[in-house]
């Protein structure tokens, strides 16, 4: 969401092993990323290189983390923007922001001596939603500019560019975006099952003092439907409860209060957006 609205240049050191669960998504992504790594072979066999990957799934499931890990895995520079940054601007501004983003990726790669770049566009539906039948010129221009940039990507160019986009509303996307040579590879990023929740909880408990009685498996059982972002909040809130009580370890009651808090927060959010 809005946490990642600013464009970034530095390759963030996020590895696939720091992402809990999402085993299928990771595997599919790694397969797709071969073309950035084995580009010589891909060219030799005349395989059409992949330009765009669409990550689809509910908020807070790790789409941004997966995009960052993809950049790290392929030794690419990472630049990102949120689709919402391109809207509510004067006519033509959204389109020039898109142009700017691609330019930024090329410049960052040149500066850092990297031969590939990953461009991440969160909330792609904000610019690539179904067209309004020519009603909204600004919106169409922004979308058209993105399509133009992607159509213009060439496998022999340096840096090689891969665009990864994220959405939680795939059915809203303009079919033009999903055509071959654009975002033609789709990867589902779902809510974690119990084993994945445990994995995520353990990752976020790594640097926190847990009492022996604090049972993360129990927490994983009680957090059906929680996203990775919510599980991260549970660990964070539990540490806050611990501090507030002057305790030096996270105890089961801190975890229980944290689960309740995150669950309540979710309900309040829902009520206020209805």
Question: Which residues make up the interface to ligand ATP (CB under 6 A)?
Answer: 1, 19-22, 59-65, 122, 166, 168, 200, 203, 228-229, 232
Closer by beta carbon to ligand ATP, 50 or else 200? 200
Closer by beta carbon to ligand ATP, 17 or else 248? 17
Give the nearest distance from C-beta 120 to ligand ATP in angstroms.
9
Give the nearest distance from C-beta 92 to ligand ATP in angstroms.
27
CA–CA separation, 182 vs 52, rounded Å?
5
Closer by beta carbon to ligand ATP, 64 or else 74? 64
Contact between 166 and 63 under an 8 Å Cβ cutoff? The reply is yes
Give the nearest distance from C-beta 228 to ligand ATP in angstroms.
2
**Where does residue 270 rank: exposed (0-12), middle (13-18), buried (19+ CB within 10 A)?**
exposed
Tokens of 28: 């599919």
Among 266, 269, 207, which residue's Cα sits nearest to residue 238?
A: 207
Neighbours of 10 (CB within 10 A): 10
Closer by beta carbon to ligand ATP, 151 or else 193? 193
* Secondary-structure breakdown of the chain: helix, strand, coil percentages, each rounded to the nearest 5: 55, 15, 35
Closer by beta carbon to ligand ATP, 21 or else 129? 21
CA–CA separation, 155 vs 39, rounded Å?
8
The torsion defined by the Cα of 47, 52, 57 and 62, in degrees rounded to 10, comes to 100
Could you tell me which residues are beta bridge partners of residue 233? Answer: none
Give the nearest distance from C-beta 60 to ligand ATP in angstroms.
5
Give the nearest distance from C-beta 244 to ligand ATP in angstroms.
22
């Amino acid at each position: 969401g809005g946490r990642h609205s600013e464009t970034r240049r530095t390759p963030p050191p996020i590895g696939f092993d720091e992402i809990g669960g999402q085993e299928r998504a990771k595997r599919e992504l790694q397969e797709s990323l071969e073309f950035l790594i084995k580009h010589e072979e891909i060219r030799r066999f005349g395989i059409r290189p992949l330009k765009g990957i669409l990550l689809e799934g509910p908020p807070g499931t790790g789409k941004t983390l997966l995009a960052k890990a993809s950049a790290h895995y392929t030794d690419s520079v990472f630049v990102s923007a949120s689709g919402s940054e391109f809207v509510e601007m004067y006519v033509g501004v959204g389109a020039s922001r898109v142009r700017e983003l691609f330019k930024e990726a090329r410049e960052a790669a040149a500066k850092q001596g990297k031969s590939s770049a990953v461009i991440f566009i969160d909330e792609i539906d904000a610019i690539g939603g179904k067209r309004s039948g020519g009603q909204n010129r600004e919106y169409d221009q922004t979308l058209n500019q993105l399509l133009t940039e992607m159509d213009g990507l060439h496998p022999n160019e340096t840096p090689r560019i891969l665009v990864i986009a994220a959405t939680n509303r795939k059915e809203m996307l303009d079919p033009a975006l999903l055509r071959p040579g654009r975002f033609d590879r789709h990867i589902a990023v779902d809510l974690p099952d119990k084993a994945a929740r445990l994995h995520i909880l353990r990752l976020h408990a790594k640097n926190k003092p847990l009492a022996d009685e604090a049972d993360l498996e129990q927490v994983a059982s009680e957090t059906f439907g929680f996203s990775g972002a919510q599980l991260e909040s549970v660990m964070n809130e539990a540490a806050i409860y611990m501090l507030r009580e002057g305790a030096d370890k996270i105890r089961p009651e801190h975890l229980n209060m944290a689960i309740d808090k995150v669950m309540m927060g979710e309900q309040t959010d829902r009520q206020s957006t209805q």
